[in-house]
Amino acid sequence: MQTEATATLDSTVYDRKHPYSATVLDNRILTGSGSEKETRHIELALGQSGITYLPGDSAGILPTNPCAMVDQVLQNLSFTGNEPVKDFYGELTDLRAALTSWLMIGKLSGTTLRAWATHTNHPDLTALLQPGNKDKLDAYLWGREFLDLLEHAPAKIEDPQQLFKLLPRLAPRLYSISSSQALYPDSVHMTVRVVRYESYGRTRLGVCSGQLGERAPAGCTLPVFIHSNKLFRLPDDPDVPVIMVGPGTGVAPFRAYLQHKQAGLGRWPMWLFFGDQRYAQDFLYRDEFEAWLANGTLNRLDTAFSRDQAFKIYVQDRVRENAAELWRWLDQGAYFYVCGDSQRMAPDVEKALLDAVATHSGRGPDYAQEFLAAMKKQKRYLRDVY
């Protein structure tokens, strides 16, 4: 069995500064044609890189901006793209390469708007920056890209190197790994929701998810590195029960956990709560989870498909419905994992968890808070939320 030490040692050869160029082996849509979402399964070949990872880790992808977007920015700034500039490490490159791989132009930041307001003295931008206008500023930034700002407040820049102060760095995106290397020694899998929306008359794409959805076919290469997450590991004790709550793409690390168990690296009793909009369109990896349930790798599966009935049902509702059994698992020392949305799902799941402990322990809300605090201290309550 690989240890965390080996995984960390082998993987440090490649990092966000020096990523591995991985070939895309597979890039397919998981969601049905009638789904409101586009979720993809992506497999990257690790070749002879020596990269290792453990369930709970993330794959870091260094995205690039679309050529058309780069062309439009260059045109609006009256640059050719051949102008020499230095990247963040002081290495010489050209402006087109910088706008493609180094600078964030696909999402407008507050720092960029402030700097552009100073550069242009445009009255609309200056007004947004006045005290008390935070809500208006946030509303302006949402759904806009650097190109929108250039069109709204046109201006020129004399020195293209200024863009490195004006624009944030194009940061890597982290995706929970959805495979176990015990089953897939030479590849790493990701489960990615492609972000698409309309704003201000344009179709927008997520900076990295859009690239994975439209510009990363099988056979191309992507720069990848492993981000270790020591705070989202399976229990060291191979017999401890594991409860997993992962709606949507939050199920990714739990697919890795189940593969790890399938490979014989633990006997953990496993209970999965999965949710999404519709059973027929959005049940990610349905065949795999149902097969694991049938062969005993997965001990329990509770699903919540919010749009399949008149009233919406979410994973937190399934947690409440199964509160008595949940408490029995927790009282036996089960680990409780949550992965996914930090704004609504994770807090709602935590409240359902507290209510289950308060009610079925028979000791009330104060004890539930103490019990949860103890779980956190024992690293039995683990969250990977975003």
Q: Distance (Å, rounded) from C-alpha 113 to C-alpha 282?
A: 38
Q: Distance (Å, rounded) from C-alpha 4 to C-alpha 233?
A: 10
**How large is the average pLDDT for residues 107-131?**
97
Residue 8 has pLDDT above 70, yes or no: no
> What SS3 state is found at 82?
coil
Question: What is the predicted pLDDT for the residue at 57?
Answer: 98
Question: What is the predicted pLDDT for the residue at 2?
Answer: 41
Sheet holding 300-305, edge to edge: 300-305, 270-276, 242-245, 335-340, 381-385
List for the chain the helix, strand, coil content (%; round to 5). 40, 20, 40
* Sign of the dihedral defined by the CA atoms of residues 301, 343, 55, 39, in that order: positive
Residue 240 has pLDDT above 90, yes or no: yes
Question: What is the predicted pLDDT for the residue at 6?
Answer: 41
Output the CA–CA distances (angstroms, integers) from residue 123 to 144, 153, 193, in the order listed.
18, 9, 38
Taken as a whole, the chain contains a residue count of 386
Burial class (CB in 10 A: 0-12, 13-18, 19+), 198: exposed
Residue 1 has pLDDT above 60, yes or no: no
Q: Distance (Å, rounded) from C-alpha 326 to C-alpha 334?
A: 9
Burial class (CB in 10 A: 0-12, 13-18, 19+), 80: exposed
Segment 169-206, tens digit of pLDDT: 999 999 999 999 999 999 999 999 999 999 999 999 99
Instruction: Record the tokens describing residue 156, joined without a space.
Output: 């020129």
Segment 290-308, tens digit of pLDDT: 999 999 999 999 999 999 9
Write down all domains in the chain, each with its CATH number in brackets: 4-56+172-227 (2.40.30.10), 67-166 (1.20.990.10), 242-385 (3.40.50.80)
Scanning the chain, the segments in alpha helix (DSSP H) are 4-11, 67-77, 95-101, 110-120, 123-128, 134-141, 146-152, 163-166, 207-214, 252-262, 279-282, 286-295, 315-321, 323-331, 345-360, 364-377
The whole model's pTM is what? 0.94
Q: What is the DSSP letter of 195?
A: P
Q: What is the DSSP letter of 231?
A: T
Q: Which residue bears the tokens 């982290």?
A: 174
What is the radius of gyration, based on Cα positions, of the chain? 23
**How large is the average pLDDT for residues 335-360?**
98
Q: Distance (Å, rounded) from C-alpha 79 to C-alpha 208?
A: 25
Other Cβ atoms less than 10 A from the Cβ of 65: the count is 22
Segment 125-175, tens digit of pLDDT: 999 999 999 999 999 999 999 999 999 999 999 999 999 999 999 999 999
Q: How far apart are the first and last CA of the chain?
A: 30
Question: Nearest 5°: phi and psi at 346?
Answer: -60, -45
Name residues whose C-beta falls within 8 Å of residue 122's C-beta, 6 or more positions apart in sequence.
Answer: 116, 152, 153, 155
pLDDT above 70: percentage of residues in the chain: 97
Residue 5 has pLDDT above 80, yes or no: no
**How large is the average pLDDT for residues 67-92?**
97
**How large is the average pLDDT for residues 99-117?**
97
Q: What is the DSSP letter of 103?
A: B
Q: Which of 306, 301, 302 is nearest to 277 (CA)?
A: 306
Residue 35 has pLDDT above 70, yes or no: yes
Segment 209-231, tens digit of pLDDT: 999 999 999 999 999 999 999 99
Residue 322 has pLDDT above 50, yes or no: yes
Residue 81 has pLDDT above 50, yes or no: yes
Q: Distance (Å, rounded) from C-alpha 262 to C-alpha 268?
A: 10
